[in-house]
Chains A and B, each alone.
Chain A
Protein backbone atom coordinates (compact mmCIF):
# COMPACT_ATOMS: atom_id res chain seq x y z
CA UNK A 1 0.00 0.00 0.00
CA UNK A 2 2.78 2.38 0.92
CA UNK A 3 4.58 1.69 -2.31
CA UNK A 4 2.00 3.60 -4.27
CA UNK A 5 2.42 6.71 -2.18
CA UNK A 6 5.40 8.84 -3.04
CA UNK A 7 7.62 10.49 -0.39
CA UNK A 8 6.25 13.87 -1.42
CA UNK A 9 2.73 12.64 -0.78
CA UNK A 10 3.74 11.26 2.64
CA UNK A 11 5.23 14.64 3.47
CA UNK A 12 2.04 16.38 2.36
CA UNK A 13 -0.07 13.98 4.45
CA UNK A 14 2.11 14.62 7.51
CA UNK A 15 1.93 18.38 7.08
CA UNK A 16 -1.82 18.15 6.44
CA UNK A 17 -2.24 16.44 9.81
CA UNK A 18 -0.55 19.37 11.53
CA UNK A 19 -2.35 22.01 9.48
CA UNK A 20 0.89 23.14 7.91
CA UNK A 21 -0.14 23.01 4.27
CA UNK A 22 -0.85 26.06 2.21
CA UNK A 23 -4.42 26.53 0.95
CA UNK A 24 -3.63 25.34 -2.57
CA UNK A 25 -1.74 22.27 -1.37
CA UNK A 26 -4.48 21.44 1.07
CA UNK A 27 -7.17 21.59 -1.68
CA UNK A 28 -5.07 19.42 -3.96
CA UNK A 29 -4.44 16.85 -1.20
CA UNK A 30 -8.09 16.70 -0.20
CA UNK A 31 -8.97 15.95 -3.82
CA UNK A 32 -6.43 13.11 -3.81
CA UNK A 33 -7.88 11.77 -0.58
CA UNK A 34 -11.33 11.50 -2.13
CA UNK A 35 -9.95 9.87 -5.25
CA UNK A 36 -7.46 7.38 -3.67
CA UNK A 37 -8.54 5.10 -0.78
CA UNK A 38 -4.92 4.10 0.04
CA UNK A 39 -4.24 7.75 0.75
CA UNK A 40 -7.09 7.81 3.22
CA UNK A 41 -5.74 4.67 4.97
CA UNK A 42 -2.26 6.18 5.08
CA UNK A 43 -3.61 9.36 6.60
CA UNK A 44 -5.47 7.39 9.27
CA UNK A 45 -2.34 5.39 10.13
CA UNK A 46 -0.28 8.52 10.39
CA UNK A 47 -2.87 10.15 12.64
CA UNK A 48 -2.99 7.11 14.95
CA UNK A 49 0.77 6.99 15.11
CA UNK A 50 0.92 10.67 15.96
CA UNK A 51 -1.84 10.32 18.53
CA UNK A 52 -0.07 7.39 20.12
CA UNK A 53 3.11 9.40 20.40
CA UNK A 54 1.24 12.35 21.85
CA UNK A 55 -0.60 10.12 24.31
CA UNK A 56 2.61 9.23 26.08
CA UNK A 57 2.78 10.82 29.49
CA UNK A 58 5.47 13.40 29.96
CA UNK A 59 8.33 12.09 32.02
CA UNK A 60 9.18 13.87 35.22
CA UNK A 61 12.73 14.68 36.11
CA UNK A 62 13.94 12.21 38.77
CA UNK A 63 15.63 15.04 40.66
CA UNK A 64 16.15 18.77 40.55
CA UNK A 65 18.82 20.01 38.19
CA UNK A 66 19.28 23.42 39.83
CA UNK A 67 22.83 24.67 39.75
CA UNK A 68 24.83 25.14 42.92
CA UNK A 69 27.33 28.01 43.03
CA UNK A 70 30.05 25.39 42.78
CA UNK A 71 28.59 23.99 39.57
CA UNK A 72 27.98 27.42 38.12
CA UNK A 73 31.37 28.76 39.24
CA UNK A 74 33.54 26.15 37.62
CA UNK A 75 34.51 28.38 34.77
CA UNK A 76 35.30 31.36 37.02
CA UNK A 77 37.72 29.34 39.11
CA UNK A 78 39.30 27.84 36.03
CA UNK A 79 39.80 31.31 34.63
CA UNK A 80 41.45 32.48 37.82
CA UNK A 81 43.75 29.52 38.04
CA UNK A 82 44.50 29.60 34.34
CA UNK A 83 45.55 33.24 34.75
CA UNK A 84 47.54 32.85 37.96
CA UNK A 85 49.34 29.65 37.05
CA UNK A 86 51.30 30.91 34.02
CA UNK A 87 52.14 34.19 35.78
CA UNK A 88 53.50 32.46 38.86
CA UNK A 89 55.34 29.91 36.74
CA UNK A 90 56.95 32.70 34.72
CA UNK A 91 57.94 34.57 37.89
CA UNK A 92 59.48 31.44 39.35
CA UNK A 93 61.39 30.70 36.15
CA UNK A 94 62.58 34.31 35.82
CA UNK A 95 63.77 34.39 39.43
CA UNK A 96 65.63 31.12 38.89
CA UNK A 97 67.37 32.47 35.78
CA UNK A 98 68.31 35.70 37.58
CA UNK A 99 69.59 33.68 40.51
CA UNK A 100 71.89 31.70 38.22
CA UNK A 101 73.12 34.91 36.57
CA UNK A 102 73.78 36.61 39.91
CA UNK A 103 75.53 33.55 41.23
CA UNK A 104 77.76 33.34 38.16
CA UNK A 105 78.47 37.06 38.42
CA UNK A 106 79.33 36.65 42.05
CA UNK A 107 81.76 33.85 41.21
CA UNK A 108 83.39 35.91 38.50
CA UNK A 109 83.87 38.92 40.78
CA UNK A 110 85.18 37.13 43.82
CA UNK A 111 86.88 34.27 42.00
CA UNK A 112 86.36 30.56 42.41
CA UNK A 113 87.60 28.67 45.43
CA UNK A 114 87.33 29.32 49.12
CA UNK A 115 86.21 32.87 48.64
CA UNK A 116 84.53 33.10 52.00
CA UNK A 117 87.74 32.82 53.96
CA UNK A 118 90.49 34.28 51.89
CA UNK A 119 90.01 37.84 53.10
CA UNK A 120 90.42 36.76 56.65
CA UNK A 121 93.30 34.43 56.14
CA UNK A 122 95.83 37.13 55.48
CA UNK A 123 95.98 38.58 58.97
CA UNK A 124 95.62 35.17 60.56
CA UNK A 125 98.45 33.61 58.62
CA UNK A 126 100.56 36.65 59.25
CA UNK A 127 99.79 36.45 62.89
CA UNK A 128 100.64 32.80 63.08
CA UNK A 129 103.82 33.32 61.07
CA UNK A 130 105.06 35.84 63.58
CA UNK A 131 104.09 33.48 66.32
CA UNK A 132 106.03 30.55 64.87
CA UNK A 133 109.27 32.54 64.78
CA UNK A 134 109.46 32.50 68.53
CA UNK A 135 112.57 30.40 69.27
CA UNK A 136 112.69 27.30 71.33
CA UNK A 137 114.71 29.20 73.90
CA UNK A 138 111.76 31.41 74.59
CA UNK A 139 110.96 30.55 78.16
CA UNK A 140 109.15 33.34 79.75
CA UNK A 141 109.09 33.95 83.39
CA UNK A 142 106.11 35.57 84.88
CA UNK A 143 106.13 39.28 84.14
CA UNK A 144 109.06 39.31 81.77
CA UNK A 145 110.20 37.85 78.49
CA UNK A 146 113.48 36.56 77.22
CA UNK A 147 115.34 38.65 74.79
CA UNK A 148 115.61 37.37 71.28
CA UNK A 149 118.23 38.41 68.78
CA UNK A 150 116.86 40.82 66.23
CA UNK A 151 117.77 38.54 63.41
CA UNK A 152 115.18 36.10 64.62
CA UNK A 153 112.40 38.19 63.13
CA UNK A 154 112.85 39.08 59.52
CA UNK A 155 110.59 39.82 56.65
CA UNK A 156 111.79 36.75 54.80
CA UNK A 157 110.66 34.54 57.62
CA UNK A 158 107.15 35.83 57.54
CA UNK A 159 105.64 33.25 55.32
CA UNK A 160 102.09 33.54 54.10
CA UNK A 161 101.58 30.40 52.04
CA UNK A 162 97.91 30.76 51.48
CA UNK A 163 98.18 34.35 50.29
CA UNK A 164 100.65 33.41 47.60
CA UNK A 165 98.04 31.22 46.08
CA UNK A 166 95.49 33.97 45.93
CA UNK A 167 97.31 36.01 43.35
CA UNK A 168 99.48 39.01 43.06
CA UNK A 169 97.01 41.46 44.46
CA UNK A 170 96.67 39.67 47.71
CA UNK A 171 100.40 39.07 47.87
CA UNK A 172 101.15 42.75 47.63
CA UNK A 173 98.50 43.44 50.17
CA UNK A 174 100.06 41.01 52.61
CA UNK A 175 103.48 42.47 52.03
CA UNK A 176 102.13 45.85 52.98
CA UNK A 177 100.70 44.36 56.07
CA UNK A 178 103.99 42.71 56.95
CA UNK A 179 105.69 46.05 56.52
CA UNK A 180 103.22 47.61 58.84
CA UNK A 181 103.76 44.92 61.44
CA UNK A 182 107.53 45.18 61.28
CA UNK A 183 107.35 48.93 61.60
CA UNK A 184 105.17 48.61 64.65
CA UNK A 185 107.58 46.11 66.19
CA UNK A 186 110.51 48.37 65.50
CA UNK A 187 108.67 51.30 66.96
CA UNK A 188 107.97 49.33 70.09
CA UNK A 189 111.58 48.27 70.34
CA UNK A 190 112.84 51.76 70.00
CA UNK A 191 110.45 53.08 72.57
CA UNK A 192 111.56 50.45 75.08
CA UNK A 193 115.29 50.41 74.48
CA UNK A 194 115.68 53.98 73.49
CA UNK A 195 117.38 52.77 70.35
CA UNK A 196 120.44 51.54 72.24
CA UNK A 197 119.62 47.91 72.31
CA UNK A 198 118.97 46.22 68.97
CA UNK A 199 117.23 43.22 70.41
CA UNK A 200 113.49 43.65 70.65
CA UNK A 201 111.55 42.50 73.62
CA UNK A 202 108.72 40.26 72.68
CA UNK A 203 105.49 40.80 74.41
CA UNK A 204 102.40 38.77 74.11
CA UNK A 205 100.58 40.22 71.13
CA UNK A 206 97.34 39.48 72.81
CA UNK A 207 96.39 38.92 76.37
CA UNK A 208 94.86 35.67 75.27
CA UNK A 209 98.19 34.18 74.32
CA UNK A 210 99.39 31.84 76.92
CA UNK A 211 103.02 31.25 77.42
CA UNK A 212 103.73 27.59 77.71
CA UNK A 213 106.74 26.40 79.56
CA UNK A 214 108.93 24.79 77.01
CA UNK A 215 109.05 27.68 74.67
CA UNK A 216 105.83 27.31 72.62
CA UNK A 217 103.24 30.00 72.42
CA UNK A 218 99.80 28.58 72.05
CA UNK A 219 96.91 30.36 70.44
CA UNK A 220 93.74 29.79 72.30
CA UNK A 221 90.94 28.58 70.07
CA UNK A 222 88.49 31.10 71.42
CA UNK A 223 90.48 34.02 70.08
CA UNK A 224 89.90 33.24 66.46
CA UNK A 225 86.50 34.12 65.11
CA UNK A 226 85.57 31.42 62.66
CA UNK A 227 83.01 33.58 60.89
CA UNK A 228 84.94 36.74 60.29
CA UNK A 229 88.45 35.44 60.42
CA UNK A 230 89.47 38.35 62.56
CA UNK A 231 91.54 38.03 65.66
CA UNK A 232 90.52 39.75 68.79
CA UNK A 233 91.98 43.21 68.72
CA UNK A 234 95.41 43.44 70.22
CA UNK A 235 98.07 46.04 70.27
CA UNK A 236 99.64 45.09 66.96
CA UNK A 237 96.90 43.28 65.15
CA UNK A 238 94.29 45.91 65.88
CA UNK A 239 96.16 48.47 63.85
CA UNK A 240 96.80 46.29 60.83
CA UNK A 241 93.34 44.71 60.82
CA UNK A 242 91.57 48.02 60.86
CA UNK A 243 93.63 49.26 57.95
CA UNK A 244 92.97 46.05 56.07
CA UNK A 245 89.27 46.30 56.80
CA UNK A 246 89.08 49.85 55.52
CA UNK A 247 90.89 48.84 52.39
CA UNK A 248 88.62 45.88 51.70
CA UNK A 249 85.37 47.50 52.76
CA UNK A 250 84.02 48.15 49.23
CA UNK A 251 84.64 44.55 48.24
CA UNK A 252 82.91 43.28 51.36
CA UNK A 253 79.96 45.58 50.76
CA UNK A 254 79.64 44.37 47.18
CA UNK A 255 79.69 40.75 48.24
CA UNK A 256 77.12 41.35 50.95
CA UNK A 257 74.81 42.91 48.38
CA UNK A 258 75.25 39.89 46.16
CA UNK A 259 74.41 37.55 49.00
CA UNK A 260 71.25 39.47 49.88
CA UNK A 261 70.19 39.47 46.24
CA UNK A 262 70.76 35.74 45.98
CA UNK A 263 68.68 35.05 49.08
CA UNK A 264 65.84 37.24 47.80
CA UNK A 265 65.85 35.50 44.43
CA UNK A 266 65.84 32.07 46.05
CA UNK A 267 62.83 33.03 48.17
CA UNK A 268 60.94 34.41 45.16
CA UNK A 269 61.70 31.40 42.98
CA UNK A 270 60.62 28.90 45.61
CA UNK A 271 57.51 30.72 46.81
CA UNK A 272 56.25 31.43 43.27
CA UNK A 273 56.92 27.84 42.23
CA UNK A 274 55.09 26.44 45.23
CA UNK A 275 52.15 28.77 44.68
CA UNK A 276 51.93 27.73 41.02
CA UNK A 277 52.00 24.07 42.03
CA UNK A 278 49.26 24.66 44.60
CA UNK A 279 47.04 26.41 42.04
CA UNK A 280 47.62 23.61 39.56
CA UNK A 281 46.51 21.01 42.10
CA UNK A 282 43.46 23.03 43.12
CA UNK A 283 42.52 23.42 39.45
CA UNK A 284 42.75 19.67 38.91
CA UNK A 285 40.44 19.03 41.85
CA UNK A 286 37.84 21.29 40.26
Chain B
Protein backbone atom coordinates (compact mmCIF):
# COMPACT_ATOMS: atom_id res chain seq x y z
CA UNK B 1 0.00 0.00 0.00
CA UNK B 2 1.48 3.30 -1.07
CA UNK B 3 0.30 5.42 1.83
CA UNK B 4 1.40 8.73 0.38
CA UNK B 5 -0.39 8.08 -2.92
CA UNK B 6 -3.57 7.13 -1.08
CA UNK B 7 -3.35 10.25 1.04
CA UNK B 8 -2.80 12.36 -2.06
CA UNK B 9 -5.81 10.82 -3.84
CA UNK B 10 -7.95 11.15 -0.74
CA UNK B 11 -7.07 14.83 -0.50
CA UNK B 12 -8.43 15.23 -4.02
CA UNK B 13 -11.74 13.79 -2.85
CA UNK B 14 -11.23 10.11 -3.68
CA UNK B 15 -13.27 8.41 -0.98
CA UNK B 16 -12.13 4.90 -1.96
CA UNK B 17 -8.51 5.83 -1.32
CA UNK B 18 -9.40 7.25 2.06
CA UNK B 19 -11.39 4.13 2.93
CA UNK B 20 -8.33 2.00 2.20
CA UNK B 21 -6.48 4.07 4.78
CA UNK B 22 -9.40 3.59 7.14
CA UNK B 23 -9.17 -0.16 6.79
CA UNK B 24 -5.44 -0.02 7.49
CA UNK B 25 -5.75 2.04 10.67
CA UNK B 26 -9.18 1.29 12.09
CA UNK B 27 -7.92 -1.36 14.55
CA UNK B 28 -5.28 0.97 15.90
CA UNK B 29 -7.69 3.87 16.32
CA UNK B 30 -10.38 1.70 17.86
CA UNK B 31 -7.88 0.20 20.32
CA UNK B 32 -6.64 3.66 21.25
CA UNK B 33 -10.20 4.91 21.74
CA UNK B 34 -11.16 1.84 23.75
CA UNK B 35 -8.19 2.21 26.09
CA UNK B 36 -8.91 5.89 26.61
CA UNK B 37 -12.68 5.62 26.94
CA UNK B 38 -12.96 2.21 28.59
CA UNK B 39 -16.24 1.43 26.76
CA UNK B 40 -16.69 -0.30 23.45
CA UNK B 41 -19.71 1.74 22.32
CA UNK B 42 -18.06 5.01 23.16
CA UNK B 43 -14.88 3.80 21.46
CA UNK B 44 -16.82 2.96 18.29
CA UNK B 45 -18.39 6.40 18.20
CA UNK B 46 -15.06 8.07 18.82
CA UNK B 47 -13.38 6.04 16.08
CA UNK B 48 -16.07 6.84 13.52
CA UNK B 49 -16.03 10.53 14.42
CA UNK B 50 -12.25 10.55 14.20
CA UNK B 51 -12.28 9.18 10.66
CA UNK B 52 -14.96 11.65 9.58
CA UNK B 53 -12.94 14.46 11.10
CA UNK B 54 -9.78 13.16 9.43
CA UNK B 55 -11.46 13.10 6.01
CA UNK B 56 -12.80 16.60 6.42
CA UNK B 57 -9.46 17.96 7.60
CA UNK B 58 -7.20 15.94 5.35
CA UNK B 59 -5.85 19.12 3.78
CA UNK B 60 -4.42 20.16 7.13
CA UNK B 61 -2.15 17.09 7.16
CA UNK B 62 1.29 18.43 6.32
CA UNK B 63 3.33 15.26 6.06
CA UNK B 64 5.06 13.33 8.82
CA UNK B 65 3.60 10.24 10.41
CA UNK B 66 0.05 9.66 9.20
CA UNK B 67 -0.45 7.16 12.00
CA UNK B 68 0.51 9.75 14.60
CA UNK B 69 -1.78 12.30 12.93
CA UNK B 70 -4.72 9.90 13.09
CA UNK B 71 -3.93 8.98 16.70
CA UNK B 72 -3.89 12.64 17.59
CA UNK B 73 -7.35 13.11 16.06
CA UNK B 74 -8.87 10.14 17.85
CA UNK B 75 -7.23 11.20 21.11
CA UNK B 76 -8.72 14.68 20.79
CA UNK B 77 -12.14 13.19 20.00
CA UNK B 78 -11.88 11.06 23.15
CA UNK B 79 -10.81 14.07 25.22
CA UNK B 80 -13.83 16.01 23.99
CA UNK B 81 -16.17 13.14 24.72
CA UNK B 82 -14.73 12.57 28.20
CA UNK B 83 -15.02 16.28 28.99
CA UNK B 84 -18.62 16.22 27.78
CA UNK B 85 -19.33 13.18 29.96
CA UNK B 86 -17.81 14.93 32.93
CA UNK B 87 -20.19 17.84 32.45
CA UNK B 88 -23.20 15.59 31.90
CA UNK B 89 -22.59 12.26 33.67
CA UNK B 90 -24.75 9.35 32.55
CA UNK B 91 -25.45 5.91 33.94
CA UNK B 92 -24.14 3.23 31.57
CA UNK B 93 -26.42 0.40 30.60
CA UNK B 94 -24.81 -2.74 32.00
CA UNK B 95 -25.88 -6.18 30.81
CA UNK B 96 -28.12 -7.82 33.42
CA UNK B 97 -29.13 -11.42 34.00
CA UNK B 98 -32.60 -12.72 34.88
CA UNK B 99 -32.12 -11.73 38.52
CA UNK B 100 -31.27 -8.18 37.46
CA UNK B 101 -27.65 -8.69 38.45
CA UNK B 102 -24.84 -7.32 36.37
CA UNK B 103 -23.21 -9.89 34.07
CA UNK B 104 -19.48 -9.71 34.63
CA UNK B 105 -18.49 -11.29 31.33
CA UNK B 106 -21.09 -10.71 28.66
CA UNK B 107 -21.50 -13.54 26.17
CA UNK B 108 -20.62 -11.39 23.16
CA UNK B 109 -17.15 -10.75 24.56
CA UNK B 110 -16.31 -14.45 24.51
CA UNK B 111 -13.86 -15.80 21.97
CA UNK B 112 -14.96 -19.34 20.99
CA UNK B 113 -11.34 -20.26 20.12
CA UNK B 114 -10.13 -20.12 23.70
CA UNK B 115 -10.96 -22.29 26.68
CA UNK B 116 -13.15 -21.01 29.50
CA UNK B 117 -10.10 -20.75 31.75
CA UNK B 118 -8.17 -18.76 29.18
CA UNK B 119 -11.13 -16.54 28.55
CA UNK B 120 -11.56 -15.92 32.26
CA UNK B 121 -7.89 -15.14 32.71
CA UNK B 122 -7.80 -12.87 29.70
CA UNK B 123 -10.90 -11.01 30.66
CA UNK B 124 -9.68 -10.64 34.26
CA UNK B 125 -6.32 -9.31 33.14
CA UNK B 126 -7.92 -7.06 30.61
CA UNK B 127 -10.25 -5.69 33.25
CA UNK B 128 -7.35 -5.16 35.65
CA UNK B 129 -5.39 -3.34 33.01
CA UNK B 130 -8.34 -1.17 32.02
CA UNK B 131 -9.08 -0.46 35.67
CA UNK B 132 -5.55 0.82 36.21
CA UNK B 133 -5.57 2.81 33.00
CA UNK B 134 -8.87 4.43 33.96
CA UNK B 135 -7.33 5.55 37.24
CA UNK B 136 -4.55 7.39 35.46
CA UNK B 137 -4.91 11.06 34.67
CA UNK B 138 -5.88 11.52 31.03
CA UNK B 139 -2.52 12.99 29.98
CA UNK B 140 -0.57 10.09 31.50
CA UNK B 141 -3.01 7.51 30.17
CA UNK B 142 -2.65 8.79 26.63
CA UNK B 143 1.12 8.54 26.63
CA UNK B 144 1.16 5.12 28.31
CA UNK B 145 -1.28 3.74 25.74
CA UNK B 146 0.61 5.26 22.83
CA UNK B 147 4.05 4.08 23.86
CA UNK B 148 3.49 0.91 25.90
CA UNK B 149 0.39 -0.53 24.26
CA UNK B 150 0.74 0.67 20.67
CA UNK B 151 4.53 0.65 20.71
CA UNK B 152 5.07 4.14 19.30
CA UNK B 153 8.49 5.68 19.79
CA UNK B 154 8.87 8.94 21.70
CA UNK B 155 8.95 11.08 18.57
CA UNK B 156 5.69 9.61 17.21
CA UNK B 157 4.06 9.93 20.62
CA UNK B 158 5.20 13.52 20.73
CA UNK B 159 3.55 14.15 17.35
CA UNK B 160 0.40 12.37 18.42
CA UNK B 161 -0.13 14.48 21.52
CA UNK B 162 1.38 17.65 20.11
CA UNK B 163 3.83 18.04 22.99
CA UNK B 164 7.63 18.08 23.17
CA UNK B 165 9.71 14.95 23.75
CA UNK B 166 10.53 15.95 27.31
CA UNK B 167 6.85 16.02 28.17
CA UNK B 168 6.41 12.56 26.71
CA UNK B 169 9.32 11.22 28.78
CA UNK B 170 8.04 12.78 31.97
CA UNK B 171 4.42 11.71 31.53
CA UNK B 172 5.42 8.20 30.53
CA UNK B 173 7.64 7.74 33.58
CA UNK B 174 4.96 8.98 35.98
CA UNK B 175 2.30 6.96 34.20
CA UNK B 176 4.36 3.77 34.39
CA UNK B 177 5.04 4.34 38.05
CA UNK B 178 1.32 4.68 38.79
CA UNK B 179 0.55 1.65 36.67
CA UNK B 180 3.13 -0.34 38.59
CA UNK B 181 1.56 0.67 41.89
CA UNK B 182 -1.95 -0.09 40.64
CA UNK B 183 -1.10 -3.45 39.07
CA UNK B 184 0.62 -4.44 42.32
CA UNK B 185 -2.88 -4.70 43.79
CA UNK B 186 -3.72 -7.42 41.23
CA UNK B 187 -0.61 -9.46 42.00
CA UNK B 188 -2.41 -12.81 42.12
CA UNK B 189 -4.05 -12.18 38.81
CA UNK B 190 -0.86 -11.35 36.98
CA UNK B 191 1.06 -14.17 35.34
CA UNK B 192 4.31 -14.98 37.24
CA UNK B 193 6.43 -13.36 34.57
CA UNK B 194 4.75 -10.06 35.14
CA UNK B 195 4.47 -10.13 38.92
CA UNK B 196 6.35 -7.29 40.50
CA UNK B 197 9.62 -7.98 42.23
CA UNK B 198 8.60 -6.23 45.43
CA UNK B 199 5.42 -8.40 45.57
CA UNK B 200 7.36 -11.61 45.19
Residues of A within 8 A of B (CB): 1-2, 7, 10-11, 13-15, 18, 20, 41, 44-46, 48-56, 58-67, 69, 71-72, 74-75
Contact = CB atoms under 8 A, between A and B. Distances in A.
Given A20-B169, A66-B19, A72-B15, 17 more contacts: A10-B177, A11-B169, A15-B169, A20-B154, A41-B198, A45-B180, A45-B198, A48-B194, A48-B195, A49-B176, A53-B149, A53-B179, A56-B149, A58-B31, A65-B22, A65-B26, A67-B19
B30 interface: yes
A75 B53 CA distance: 11
B34 interface: yes
Contact of B147 (A10, A18, A41, A65): A18
Contacts, number: 112
B196 interface: yes
A14 B52 contact: no
Interface string B131-152: 0000000000000100111010
B56 A75 contact: yes
- Looking at chain A's contact residues, is the secondary structure mostly helix, strand, loop, or mixed? helix
B4 interface: no
Nearest to B126: A56
Contacts of A10: 173-174, 177
Nearest to A68: B15
B3 to A, nearest CB: 17
A157 to B, nearest CB: 88
- Looking at chain B's contact residues, is the secondary structure mostly helix, strand, loop, or mixed? helix
Nearest to A21: B169
Nearest to B30: A61
Given A67-B18, A67-B19, A67-B51, A13 B173 contact: yes
B113 interface: no
A7 B178 CA distance: 12
A66 B23 contact: yes
B27 A59 contact: yes
Given A15-B173, A67-B22, A49 B30 contact: no
Contacts of A13: 173
Interface string B189-200: 010011111100
Contacts of A14: 169, 172-173, 176-177
B55 interface: yes
Interface stretch (B40-48, B75-83, B85-93): B40-48
A67 B144 CA distance: 29
A4 to B, nearest CB: 13
A44 B183 CA distance: 14
Given A20-B154, A62-B40, A54 B173 contact: no
Contacts of B23: 64, 66
Contacts of A7: 173-174
B52 A67 contact: yes
A71 B56 CA distance: 10
Contacts of B56: 75
7 tightest A-B contacts by CB? A14-B173, A53-B148, A11-B173, A66-B19, A61-B30, A52-B194, A59-B31
8 contacts: A11-B170, A11-B173, A48-B193, A60-B30, A61-B26, A61-B30, A66-B19, A67-B55
Contacts of B147: 18
Contacts of A62: 30, 40, 44
Given A1-B198, A41-B198, A61 B176 contact: no
Contacts of B6: none
A278 B14 CA distance: 30
B85 to A, nearest CB: 21
B197 A45 contact: yes
Contacts of A54: 148-149, 151
Given A66-B23, A67-B22, A48 B15 contact: no
Contacts of A2: 177
B15 A67 contact: yes
B52 A61 contact: no
Contacts of A1: 198
Interface string B164-186: 00000110111011011001000
Nearest to B28: A58
